Amino acid sequence: MITEAAPRRALVTGASSGIGAATALRLTSEGWQVFALARRAEKLEHLAEQEGIIPLVCDVTDPEQVAGVVETITAAGGIDTLINNAGGALGVDPVGTGKVEDWRWMFEVNVLGTLNVTQAFLPMLREHGEGTVLNVTSTAGYTPYEGGGGYNAAKYGQHALTGVLRLEEAEHNIRVIDVLPGMVHTEEFTAKRLRGDTAAAQKVYAGVEKPLVAEDIAEVITNAVTLPHHVNLDQIVVRPVAQAAQHKVIRKN
């Protein structure tokens, strides 16, 4: 059990790049110890050089690998905060022609990955007495849009999981936070969704003077988890000013 005098400790999944990496770095700048988890060891190398960050290689969709991470973190002193950031989108096909394998991957990483890690760490967070679970979902989790069927479905599922978790874990004094980013310009998300078509990925942000970047979301996450524990920001929708709604984006030449 972590004592009050111990440093704050968090596990951040999907920490190899983008929002996850930015969050790990932002938390350590505030004096936290961070376990940075991702599938790709080579992508964690830059974080391994940062004081306060312990990189861990794990696929969140594999319960056995997650169980191994629990053992490692328990031996290292445990955590009080779990940040489920691992996720992603694949494809922009209509529902009528969407690839089942794409939908399956999105459901497994966004929903089942969050479930695997959360179930594994709930006993530790309950024992702590003031645990926090923060899930990075998406505005796609409550506003459907054309071409978003699989990602919408996965993020709706993760968003619902988060809401149910809050209801079920309040009696254990576990704070559950849902951060729902809108348009965020990161180096990998859209390019991966468009299967490596970087030119098409750049068009998504074309003309948007100030889209959000990973560091903006990391700032929001850090603020949410460092508030006094009795303060729960249930849902935080974060968009750039230029994105007034899912379907309305201001673009300038």
Q: Which residues are catalytic?
A: 151
What's the rounded Cα separation, in Å, for the pair 129 and 66? 22
Sign of CA dihedral 16, 209, 250, 244: positive
Query: Pick from 87, 123, 94: which is nearest to 217 by CA?
Result: 87
Q: Which long-range contacts (CB under 8 A, 24 or more apart) does 26-32 make?
A: 26/215, 26/218, 26/219, 26/221, 26/222, 27/222, 27/225, 28/52, 28/53, 30/222, 30/226, 31/7, 32/7, 32/8
Q: Are the CB atoms for 56 and 69 separated by under 8 Å?
A: yes
What are the phi and psi torsion angles at 176 (to 5°)? -120, 120
| Residue keyed to tokens 């459901």 | 107
Q: Are 176 and 231 in contact (CB under 8 A)?
A: no
CA-wise closest residue to 186 among 159, 211, 219:
211
CA–CA distance, 87 with 60 (Å, rounded to integer): 10
Q: Supply 163's token pair.
A: 């809401």
The CB-side HSE value for 118 (13 A sphere, CA atoms) comes to: 28
